[in-house]
């Protein structure tokens, strides 16, 4: 097939230099794939001066106030609808960046499809920090037995061959197999040697660790999302070892993640874009839910790789972030389950937290500081969800 026409929408709020990196990565990957991309930057920070970002993108939108993530995405999508004949919108967070081969791999994936792609395409999203991976086959020369690693400082995490981390009953003594990986916690230095017992555990042995045994790797932040919990949703396979898991994680998912996703034009228009009732969090999951109900499921394509500084911007405002999560959870629950079940869930939560207080399993101060704010913002979300979903202010289809 011909190269797909892609419009890139990057919403930002005081993104700083991370926005430069995001756009530069898209430009580089587009150049490698010999694709022409149209980049739309939507600035949700009205205090910023327009010229700070306007020369980085093909189109720049400065919103007069901050309407939230979904509304900002709608504004960028709307501009593309009226100015570009595109096949996909690529939503990318301002604190994320793509691999150099991203669009080349996308063209290869699309070329293998026997029908028109009408489903969202999800990349494998990894954390932005590197970890050190030790392949035990290379270290132990393909031993065929279990050994017990002595890890007095709890520096290592054990990952099995498909990428999942292995919990250990004793964090200082880790049982590993020949095909497992030892991964250093990302802020630890590589030790010079490793101490271990063989099966018999009769004598302690050691092996020197050299550069040839150590490789850089990343951990998976998102390999698709799920919608199955009563009022919430979540990310799948967080913390998996990216190199080992990438071949086994691809395929259909229930929901996509707004940090990085390719949405077909018809998908966006038929489902009417993001629900602008949400300010932050769960808006992408709710959008996915409407697609799910229409029988359109996103596909995770692990050859497409994105690195993301998780909550790189919202993490600067932890209290605001938590309040928005609490509020959005109940808007999402109302959209998913209906108002009556969501109200029942709210009543259950109030009774549960009150019971904890009355049974003196928490202090009144702790109740006021932690439980009461959660109840309050859950209630605000419930009230907000009672309103009929308004027509989107920022998305105007032709």
Residue ranges for the chain with pLDDT beneath 70: 1, 15-17, 46-55, 142-143, 229-231, 311-318, 390, 397-398
In this prediction, residue 171 carries a pLDDT of 86
In this prediction, residue 16 carries a pLDDT of 66
Give CA torsion, residues 349, 352, 355, 360, to 10 deg: -100
In this prediction, residue 306 carries a pLDDT of 97
d(CA 155, CA 26): 35
d(CA 211, CA 272): 52
d(CA 303, CA 28): 17
In this prediction, residue 312 carries a pLDDT of 55
In this prediction, residue 349 carries a pLDDT of 93
Domain 6-128+220-316 sits in CATH 3.90.550.60: yes
In this prediction, residue 232 carries a pLDDT of 73
Residue 304, CB-side half-sphere exposure with 13 Å CA sphere: 25
54: number of Cβ within 10 Å: 14
In this prediction, residue 199 carries a pLDDT of 75
In this prediction, residue 393 carries a pLDDT of 84
Q: What share of the chain is helix, strand, coil (3-state, %, to 5)?
A: 35, 25, 40
Tokens coding 306: 């994105």
379: number of Cβ within 10 Å: 17
Domain ranges of the chain: 6-128+220-316, 131-217, 319-386
């Amino acid at each position: 097939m011909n190269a797909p026409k892609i419009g890139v929408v990057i919403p930002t709020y005081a993104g700083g230099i991370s926005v430069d990196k995001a756009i530069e990565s898209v430009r580089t990957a587009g150049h490698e794939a010999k694709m022409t991309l149209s980049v739309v930057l939507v600035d949700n920070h009205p205090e910023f001066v327009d010229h700070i970002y306007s020369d980085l993108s093909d189109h720049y939108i400065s919103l007069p106030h901050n309407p939230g993530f979904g509304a900002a995405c709608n504004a960028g999508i709307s501009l593309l609808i009226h100015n570009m004949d595109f096949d996909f919108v690529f939503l990318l967070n301002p604190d994320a960046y793509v691999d150099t081969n991203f669009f080349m791999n996308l063209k290869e994936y699309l070329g293998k499809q026997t029908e028109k792609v009408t489903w969202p395409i999800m990349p494998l999203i990894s954390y932005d920090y590197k970890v050190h991976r030790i392949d035990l086959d290379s270290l132990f020369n393909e031993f065929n037995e279990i050994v017990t690693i002595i890890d007095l400082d709890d520096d290592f995490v054990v990952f099995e061959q498909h990428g999942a981390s292995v919990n250990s009953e004793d964090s200082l003594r880790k049982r590993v197999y020949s095909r497992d990986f030892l991964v250093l916690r990302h802020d630890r230095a590589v030790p010079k040697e490793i101490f271990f017992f063989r099966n018999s555990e009769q004598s302690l042995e050691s092996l020197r660790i050299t550069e040839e045994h150590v490789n850089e790797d990343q951990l998976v932040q998102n390999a698709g999302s799920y919608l199955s919990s009563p009022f919430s949703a979540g990310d799948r396979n967080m913390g998996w070892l990216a190199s080992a898991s990438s071949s086994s994680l691809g395929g259909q998912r229930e929901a996509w993640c707004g940090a990085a996703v390719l949405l077909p034009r018809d998908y966006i228009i038929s489902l009417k874009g993001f629900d602008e009732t949400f300010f932050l969090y769960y808006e992408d999951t709710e959008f996915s839910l409407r697609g799910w109900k229409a029988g359109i499921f996103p596909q995770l394509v692990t050859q497409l790789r994105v690195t993301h500084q998780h909550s790189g911007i919202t993490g600067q405002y932890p209290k605001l972030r938590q309040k928005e999560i609490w509020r959005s959870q109940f808007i999402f629950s109302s959209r998913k389950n209906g108002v009556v079940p969501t109200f029942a869930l709210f009543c259950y939560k109030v009774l549960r937290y009150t019971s904890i207080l009355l049974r003196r399993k928490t202090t009144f101060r702790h109740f006021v500081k932690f439980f009461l704010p959660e109840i309050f913002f859950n209630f605000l979300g419930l009230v907000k969800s009672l309103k009929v979903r308004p027509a989107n202010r920022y998305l105007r289809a032709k």
